[in-house]
Every structure is written in C-alpha cells, then in structure tokens.
Structure 1
Amino acid sequence: MYRLVFMQVLRRFDAEAVHHLTVRALALLSALPLVKRLLHRSLAPHDPALRVSAFGVHFPGPLGLAAGFDKDAACAEGVAALGFGHVEVGTITAHAQPGNPRPRLFRLVGRRAVINRMGFNNAGAAAAARRLRRTRGVPVVVGVNIGKTKVVPEQEAVADYVAAAKELAPLADYLVVNVSSPNTPGLRDLQAVSKLRPLLAAVKDVADGTPRRTPLLVKIAPDLADEDVDAVADLALELGLDGIIATNTTIRHEGETGGLSGRPLKGRSLEVLRRLRARVGDRLTLVSVGGVEDVDDVWERLLAGATLVQGYTGWVYGGPLWASRIHRQLSRRVRRHGFASIIEVIGRTAPDSRHAR
C-alpha cells in the first residue's frame, strides 16, 4: 500500500517539502500522549531477545534512525512510537544556520537512493536543548549528532564543537561528533588524525564531565581510504571513545552535488564495518549505517560486528512501519536460528577479536 502511495503521490512532490511535512506530523504525534503510547505499545520492539546494551545504554532493539531526519530534536518520541530502537537527532550546530540553497534534496527512485546537500540546516544547539529537556512520554534512546557551524573557520572548529557539546551532551543518551558530512566546506578535512585528535579530545572532556558521563562516538565517511579508516579506529581506541558510526553519505557518484545515501552505499558501508571490526574487535561499539533496506541487511551487519544498525533512506522507500516490520522479522529469525538473544548474533562471522590489533 505504501509503495503505491509513494509511487503515485509522494514522489510527485518536492522531496524536502515531504520531509518537513513528515517531521511536523511526527512532532504532532509526539505531543499526543495517548496516541503515541498506543502506537508505541503496538509497534515498538518489546521482545526481550532483541534488547542490546552498548556503552552503558540499553536499547530495546538494534535498529535505529540515523541522523539527518530529525535535525532539531522535534519528533524523537513519534519516531520511536513507529518502531525504531533509538533515534539520532541532528546534525545540530552550536549556532543556528539555514543550510544550503534549495533545491537540496533529491530522490533517485530507480536506485532506491537519495542525494542531499542540506548543509546542517538547524535552529542551533540552544533550541535543540530546550526540546530535549522535555519529559518523554514514551521510552526512547536519543543520540545527539553535532557538527561544525558553516561560518566558523577551521581554526575555531574545536571551540565550536565544544560549545555544542556543552549544550547537548548532558541531555543526550550518547553524543556523536560528525566530521564526515560532504555538505559543509572543509568538514571532511577534520577526519585527518592530526586535526581529529584535538577535536575529539576536547569534546570528550565535555562528555566525560556530564553527571552520567555521556558516551562519545565519531561518525566517518565511506570515502576514507582504508588506511585512514584504520587510523581513525586507532585514534578512537587511544582516546577511549565509545564507538564509531560507519558510514555517512558518499560523494563518489554522478549527478547532483551532495551526499548519496541508500542502496548504492551498501557495499562500501559493509566493507568499512568489516575493516573496523577486524581492527578493533569488540573494544568499541560499531554502529553500521548505509544502504540498510531490509532484515537481511540488518542481520548481515550484526553478523559482521555491528552492535547497532541505523537506517534512513530505507525508511523513505519502506514506509512508516519499516522499522517495526524489521524488528518483528528479527525476532522470528533469532528464534529460527536457535539463539536466545540477538546479542549472540553480533560479530558471529567477524574475525576473532583476539586477532584484532
């Protein structure tokens, strides 16, 4: 049914207009206590076999929503009510900014992909913090993804990230440093270890200083060379980070300028995940995102060593019940394979962690 509505109706409208309409609808749902509780009871993962713990945080299921959808922390409860195990909001910058000029969001329906060059459009860290302070009517794990304000020069990037972290880290279940979006000029240059080390160290000081010690992760690009993936992994271990999210969108494509997400990213995202697992074993939490479309993709990422999996473009093409459907399918698959918990699946086909560096 959703596919028919998408092909006949939604695809005829501007992609960003549909996105904003969806966020507003979910924000309204988040404000309706009875409705969101009923939906959460029906659609959210409740099977104990799907529960996952990572960096001290308990997740009801392994599949979450990647950053980029709820840019201003406006609708996390509504998203969770539809079946996601966690919601990563953002990317949020220290200062409000409009993002890049429109049009900046494009569907590639035949490839089940999306190109975006949004440019971290958001209302800023202070506005997001006000929303995150609200009492949650349904349980939801909320990660907060932070990035660099566009007008801030590179030499002031550390201070800019720290400003965002100070506002948001105390309110986040986990914090993510995004240095991998292709849509802010110079941002990906910060992935070089010489620049990344002081940035992550400074943000980690903030995260470590919150009352509950907020876990810190870094999100990397699929376009990094393999040796640079290794270098970031080694740095994450050196600094005592809690995990790595792999991967962001890719710029290796033809067509509109911007980052490509969806099915074409599947192969490289899985390659990076496997490389990270071989490098760090189970010493870091690995979150896999990129080209995740169905239960087979989630299962494959878990087997390869991801503790958590995220999607976004798969939800665009899969419909509102996409995450709930995948979690139900995971429940059946866990039992069909004779496992007591999905935790037994994680890293099952990965190299023995004792052989990781």
Structure 2
Amino acid sequence: MYRSIFRPILFRFSPETAHNIIFSNIKIWRHIPGFQAILSSLFKVRNPKLERTLWGIKFPTPVGLAAGLDKNATGYDVFDAMGFGFIEVGTATPKAQPGNPKPRLFRLVKDNAIINRMGFNNIGADAIAKNLQKSYRKGLVIGGNIGKNTATTNENAAEDYEKSFAALYDHVDYFVVNVSCPNIANLTKLQNSDSLGDIVNRLVDYRKKQKVYRPILLKISPDLSFEQIDDSLNIINQFSLDGIVAVNTTTGRDGLSERQDKLDVIGNGGLSGKPLTSRSIEVVRYISMKTNGQMPIIGVGGIMTVDDALNMLRAGAYLIQVYTGFIYSGPQLVKDIHKAIIKEF
C-alpha cells in the first residue's frame, strides 16, 4: 500500500516538504486513540528470535531507524509502532540551528538513493531532551547522535559534543559520536586521533561521574581507506569506546544512473541508498574480520531490501539501521526483514 499509494503521493512533493508533511501528521496520529495500536498490528513483529542484548541493553529487534529522520525526537513512538526495534535521534547540537540553505535534500529515484546536505538542522539538545521526557516514550530503546554546531570551530568542538552529551545523557540509551557527516565544513577532520581524542576524553570523563553507564559509539565514513578504518579501530580501542556505526553517507558519485547535468545542479551532499550497499557491507565485513567478530557493529548504509539486511548481518553487524530504504519502501520493509531474520537466524 505504501509503495502503490502513499509513496507516489509523497514523491510529488519535494523531499523536505514530504518529510514535513509526514511529521506534521505524526503530531496528529499520536493523539488519535488506537492509531498506534493499528500500526503495531500491521507492522510490528516481536519474537524472541529477534531479541538482541548489547551493553546490557535489550533490543526487541536488531532493526533500527538511523539518525537523521527523527532529528528532534518528535516521532519515535510512531516509528516504534511501525516496527523498528530502536530509534536513533539527532544529530543533536548544543544550540538550535537551521542547517544549510534550501534546497538541501534530493531524490535520485533511478538509483534508489538520496543526496542530502541538511547540515545538522535541529532544535538543540536541550529541546530534544524535553521531547524524550514525554510520557509516550514507554521505555523504547533510543540512541542519541551528537555533533557540533556549524559555527563552532574544530578547536572548540569537544565542548559542543560534551554539552549535547550532558543534555541527552538521562534520556537516551546509547550515544553515537558523529564526526563523519560530509555536510558540515571540516567536520570529517575531527576523525583524526588528536581531535577525536579530545572529544572522547571529555565524554568518558563525564560518563565516569554518572550513576548509569551509557555506551559511546563512533560513526565512520564510507570514504575512509582500510588504513584509515584501522586508525579508527585503534582510537576506539585506545579510548575504550563501546562500538562502531558503519557507515555514514558518501561524497562519492560513482556508478549513478542519473544524468550528470542533474548531479551538477544538485552539487555537494552525502549520498545514501542503493549505491552505498556494497561499500557499507564491505566495511562492516572488514571491521568484523579485523576485530575477530568482537567489535559491536551497527551496520547502516544502503539497506534497501531484505537481502541487503541479511547480508549486513552475515557480514558481522550486531544491529542494523534503515533510513533511505524506509523512504522508498515504507514500514513493510522493516516487517519483511524481521520475518526473514526469524527464518534464517
């Protein structure tokens, strides 16, 4: 129904307009008695074979919603009803910011892909934390993806990450340090060991003072070489981080079907979707091999089909996340993945 009815309607609008329409409706849907129960009956699959436990957190399923869709934590309960086992909110920055100028979100329908240069648009970590205090959280597993404000220099980035970390600490179950988004000027330079060390040291020191331990994961770029991935793994081990999220969007444009003149008009931005599938699985397989399967990996990037999801899990991901595949196929994709996991694993 989504692909035959709802998607054609939504795809008549610009991507960001369609996004805003959905979230405007979510504000209404969550207050309609019985609506989420209906969604759950249609899409939610819960089975002991789906359950995963990591860092002492029980995930009802290994299939989550990637960061970037529910940026401001305004729809996580509805996405839970659509079947996701966990929801990652953000990227959250200390101060609210509008992000990059529009247009900044583009569909490449021929390639089952999206290009975005949103630029960490969000309402700010404190406001996101308030949204996560709402009664409809109901014990859902929530991840917090954190970054720095665009105006903050890399030299002062660690302070921004700590502020977002502190604001969300009591309201999420795990954290993802986002230093790999290609849409914030010079952000990826924070992936080097010195800069990342400053950020992580602040977060770990803050965590030591808290009563509850929150896992910290590093999100890496698909554009890293294997040598650079090794460096990232060394940083994770050096600072005793809890896992890795592989991968973010790519700046690459190889193998796309879209006409070059359209790509030239779109310009810069991070590419997600089907063109990223093979690379993201390759990176996850490499990390799993290098760490003898001991590194907790959240695999994300190009999971567009059931087979993509299964291949990501086979490659060594403990958990997986969907974003662009959800935009193109709707909640039925999540349900179908769950059914396949029950059958195979």
The amino acid that maps onto 2:303 is V
CA distance in 1 between counterparts of 2:29 and 2:107 reads 26
Cα shift at 1:218? 0.9
**1:115 alignment counterpart:** 115
CA distance in 2 between counterparts of 1:284 and 1:209 reads 25
**1:279 alignment counterpart:** 290
The amino acid that maps onto 1:291 is G
**2:57 alignment counterpart:** 57
> Quick check: 1:316 aligned with 2:318?
no
CA distance in 2 between counterparts of 1:30 and 1:209 reads 36
Identity across the alignment (%): 40
CA distance in 2 between counterparts of 1:64 and 1:86 reads 5
Q: What is the TM-score with the length of structure 2 in the denominator?
A: 0.92
**2:243 alignment counterpart:** 243
Cα shift at 1:152? 0.7
Cα shift at 1:261? 0.1
Cα shift at 1:129? 0.7
The amino acid that maps onto 1:261 is S
**1:12 alignment counterpart:** 12
Q: Write out per-residue CA displacement over residues 292-315 of structure 1, whole angstroms, 9 at most, x where no aligned residue.
A: 012211111111110000010000
Report if the CA contact (8 A) 1:64-1:86 is conserved. Answer: yes
Q: What is the TM-score with the length of structure 1 in the denominator?
A: 0.89
Number of positions where the alignment pairs a residue of Structure 1 with one of Structure 2: 334
Cα shift at 1:166? 0.6
Q: What RMSD over aligned residues (CA atoms) do the two structures have, in Å?
A: 1.7
**1:346 alignment counterpart:** none
**1:145 alignment counterpart:** 145
CA distance in 2 between counterparts of 1:93 and 1:5 reads 36
Answer with 109-118 or 228-237: which moved more.
228-237
| Closer, same or farther: CA 209–322 of 1 in aligned 2, 3 Å | farther
| Closer, same or farther: CA 27–277 of 1 in aligned 2, 3 Å | farther
Stretches of structure 1 lacking an aligned partner (at least 5 in a row): 335-341, 343-357
**2:256 alignment counterpart:** none
CA distance in 2 between counterparts of 1:40 and 1:230 reads 41
Cα shift at 1:321? 2.8
Answer with 127-136 or 21-30: which moved more.
21-30
How is 1:290-301 mapped onto 2 (pairs within 5 angstroms)?
290-301=301-312
**1:200 alignment counterpart:** 200
How is 1:1-357 mapped onto 2 (pairs within 5 angstroms)?
1-5=1-5, 8-32=8-32, 34-136=34-136, 138-253=138-253, 255=263, 256=266, 257-331=268-342, 333-334=343-344, 342=345
The amino acid that maps onto 1:275 is Y
Report if the CA contact (8 A) 2:43-2:331 is conserved. Answer: no
Runs of 4+ that moved beyond 4 A = none
Q: Write out per-residue CA displacement over residues 255-286 of structure 1, whole angstroms, 9 at most, x where no aligned residue.
A: 22100000000111111111111222333210
Report if the CA contact (8 A) 2:66-2:322 is conserved. Answer: yes
Report if the CA contact (8 A) 1:45-1:60 is conserved. Answer: no
Q: Secondary structure at the match of 1:106?
A: strand
The amino acid that maps onto 2:332 is L
Q: Secondary structure at the match of 2:217?
A: strand
Answer with 26-35 or 120-129: which moved more.
26-35
